[in-house]
């Protein structure tokens, strides 16, 4: 019996202008297709250096050239608040970013609770249960 070679299941970053996460090739053909794209094409010149860095704070940062930040996970929270994150609200467009709980400890689909800035005042944080205010911060 010969030794079998194990191949990596995923290639996470490919050096290209838009940094794509792709499934590996099998038998010379790519299986599946594009799984994730940063949608940052055109921001860096071909051949420029870009790197994804996980900081000690927990912030995943995509940097280009001399530490210019192209994207960071702290600007796109989902279900966890870490020290240094900001819960943002845009008063002119009345848009906020919500942090939504998991359905339960084993099910990461959206749960019943969410946290965000009160769109009617811009001065308070609210926790909603389903669509009803559940808790309000002090002004």
Q: What is the tens place of the pLDDT at every residue in 15-26? A: 444 444 444 555
CA dist 9 → 16, 21, 29, 119 (Å): 20, 12, 14, 44
* Structure confidence by residue, pLDDT tens digits, 78-96: 888 888 888 777 777 777 8
Question: What is the reported pLDDT for 17?
Answer: 44
* Structure confidence by residue, pLDDT tens digits, 100-120: 999 999 999 999 999 988 888
Residues, the chain: 139
Surface-to-core class of residue 97, CB atoms within 10 Å of its CB (0-12 exposed, 13-18 middle, 19+ buried) = middle
Question: What is the reported pLDDT for 30?
Answer: 52
Higher pLDDT among residues 130 and 76, named by residue: 130
* Structure confidence by residue, pLDDT tens digits, 27-80: 555 555 555 565 555 555 555 677 888 999 999 998 887 778 888 899 888 888
């Amino acid at each position: 019996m010969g030794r079998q070679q194990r191949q990596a299941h995923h290639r996470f970053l490919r050096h290209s202008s838009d940094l794509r996460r792709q499934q590996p090739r099998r038998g010379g053909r790519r299986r599946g297709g594009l799984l994730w794209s940063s949608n940052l094409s055109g921001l860096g010149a071909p051949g420029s250096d870009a790197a994804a860095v996980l900081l000690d704070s927990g912030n995943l940062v995509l940097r280009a050239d001399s530490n210019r930040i192209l994207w960071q996970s702290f600007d796109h929270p989902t279900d966890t608040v870490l020290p240094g994150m900001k819960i943002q609200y845009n008063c002119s467009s009345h848009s906020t970013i919500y942090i939504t709980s998991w359905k339960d400890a084993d099910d990461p689909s959206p749960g019943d609770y969410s946290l965000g800035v009160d769109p009617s005042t811009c001065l308070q944080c609210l926790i909603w249960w389903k669509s009803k205010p559940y808790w309000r911060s002090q002004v």
